[in-house]
Structure 1
Amino acid sequence: MNQLLHQHTESIVSAAIHAVLPDVAVVRALQGYRFGTGKIVLVAAGKAAWQMANAASDCLGNRIADGVVVTKYGHIKGPIAHIRCFEGGHPVPDDGSCRGTQAALDLVQGLTAQDTVVFLLSGGGSALLEKPWIPLDELQDITQQLLGCGADIVEINTIRKRLSAVKGGRFAMACAPAQVLCVVLSDVLGDPLDMIASGPACVDSSTCKDAENVVKKYGLQLSADALTCLRKETPKQIDNVTTRITGSVRELCAAAADAAQALGYTPILLTDQLACQAREAGLFLAEIARTHQHPDKPMAFIAGGETVVKIIGNGKGGRNQELALAAAPAISGCNAAVFSVGSDGTDGPTDAAGGYVDGDTLTTLRAAQIDPVDSLNQNDSYTALQAAGGLLFTGPTGTNVNDVAVVLVR
Structure 2
Amino acid sequence: MNLRSDADAIIKEALAAVLPDAAVKKALAGHTFPQGRIVLIAVGKAAWQMAQAVADVLGERIDAGLVITKYEHVMGEIPRVRCMEAGHPVPDENSYAATREALRLTENLTAEDTVLFLLSGGGSALFEQPLIPADELTELTHRLLASGADIVEMNTLRKRMSAVKGGRFAEHCAPAHVFSIVLSDIIGDPLDMIASGPAHPDASTAADAHAIVKKYGLHLSPTATALLDEPLPTALPNVTTQITGSVRELCTAAARAAEQRGYTPVLLTDQLDIEARAAGRFLAAIARTHAGDGASYAYIAGGETIVQLRGKGRGGRNQELALAASDGIAGLDNVAVFSIGSDGTDGPTDAAGGYVDGGTAAALARAEKSAAAALAENDAYPTLNAVGGLIKTGPTGTNVNDVAVVLIRG
Task: Check whether TM > 0.5.
Answer: yes
Looking at structure 2, the residues matched to 295 and 127 of structure 1 have their Cα atoms a distance apart, in angstroms, of: 46
Counterpart in the other structure of 1:246: 244
Deviation string for 1:188-233 (max 9, x for gaps)? 0000100001000000000111000000001112211111111212
Tell me if structure 2 keeps the 8 A contact 1:345–1:393. yes
1:381 is the counterpart of 2:377: no
> Offset at 1:387?
0.6
Counterpart in the other structure of 1:118: 116
Q: Which amino acid letter does the alignment assign opposite residue 87 of structure 2?
A: G
Q: Which amino acid letter does the alignment assign opposite residue 103 of structure 1?
A: E
> Offset at 1:296?
2.8
SS in 2 for 1:339: strand
Taking structure 2 as the reference length, the TM-score comes to 0.99
Counterpart in the other structure of 2:91: 93
Deviation string for 1:365-387 (max 9, x for gaps)? 01111121110010000011001
1:67 is the counterpart of 2:87: no
SS in 2 for 1:375: helix
Counterpart in the other structure of 1:283: 281
SS in 1 for 2:368: coil
**Pairing partner for 1:138 from 131, 136, 139:** 136
**Pairing partner for 1:150 from 148, 166, 171:** 148
SS in 2 for 1:188: coil
Looking at structure 2, the residues matched to 278 and 344 of structure 1 have their Cα atoms a distance apart, in angstroms, of: 17
Counterpart in the other structure of 2:107: 109
Counterpart in the other structure of 2:217: 219
Q: Which range is displaced more, 226-235 or 97-106?
A: 226-235
Looking at structure 1, the residues matched to 42 and 159 of structure 2 have their Cα atoms a distance apart, in angstroms, of: 18
Deviation string for 1:111-164 (max 9, x for gaps)? 100000000000000000000001111101100111110111111100010000
Counterpart in the other structure of 1:189: 187
> Offset at 1:295?
2.4
Q: Which amino acid letter does the alignment assign opposite residue 389 of structure 1?
A: G
Counterpart in the other structure of 1:76: 74
Q: CA RMSD in A?
A: 0.7
> Offset at 1:181?
0.4
Counterpart in the other structure of 1:259: 257
Looking at structure 2, the residues matched to 78 and 4 of structure 1 have their Cα atoms a distance apart, in angstroms, of: 36
SS in 1 for 2:2: helix
The aligned length equals: 408
Q: Which amino acid letter does the alignment assign opposite residue 107 of structure 2?
A: Q
Q: Percent identity?
A: 62
Deviation string for 1:74-105 (max 9, x for gaps)? 00001100001111100100011111111100
Q: Which amino acid letter does the alignment assign opposite residue 357 of structure 1?
A: V
Deviation string for 1:253-311 (max 9, x for gaps)? 00000000001000000000000100000000000100101223210000000000000
Counterpart in the other structure of 1:169: 167
Looking at structure 1, the residues matched to 150 and 318 of structure 2 have their Cα atoms a distance apart, in angstroms, of: 15
SS in 2 for 1:268: strand
Tell me if structure 2 keeps the 8 A contact 1:150–1:310. yes
Tell me if structure 2 keeps the 8 A contact 1:343–1:403. yes
Deviation string for 1:26-80 (max 9, x for gaps)? 0111111111110111000000000000000001000000001100000000110
Taking structure 1 as the reference length, the TM-score comes to 0.99
Provide runs of 4+ in structure 1 moved above 6 Å. none
Counterpart in the other structure of 1:407: 406
Counterpart in the other structure of 2:355: 356
Looking at structure 2, the residues matched to 226 and 370 of structure 1 have their Cα atoms a distance apart, in angstroms, of: 44
Counterpart in the other structure of 1:326: 324
Counterpart in the other structure of 2:10: 12
Looking at structure 2, the residues matched to 291 and 135 of structure 1 have their Cα atoms a distance apart, in angstroms, of: 52
In structure 2, runs of 5+ residues without a counterpart are none
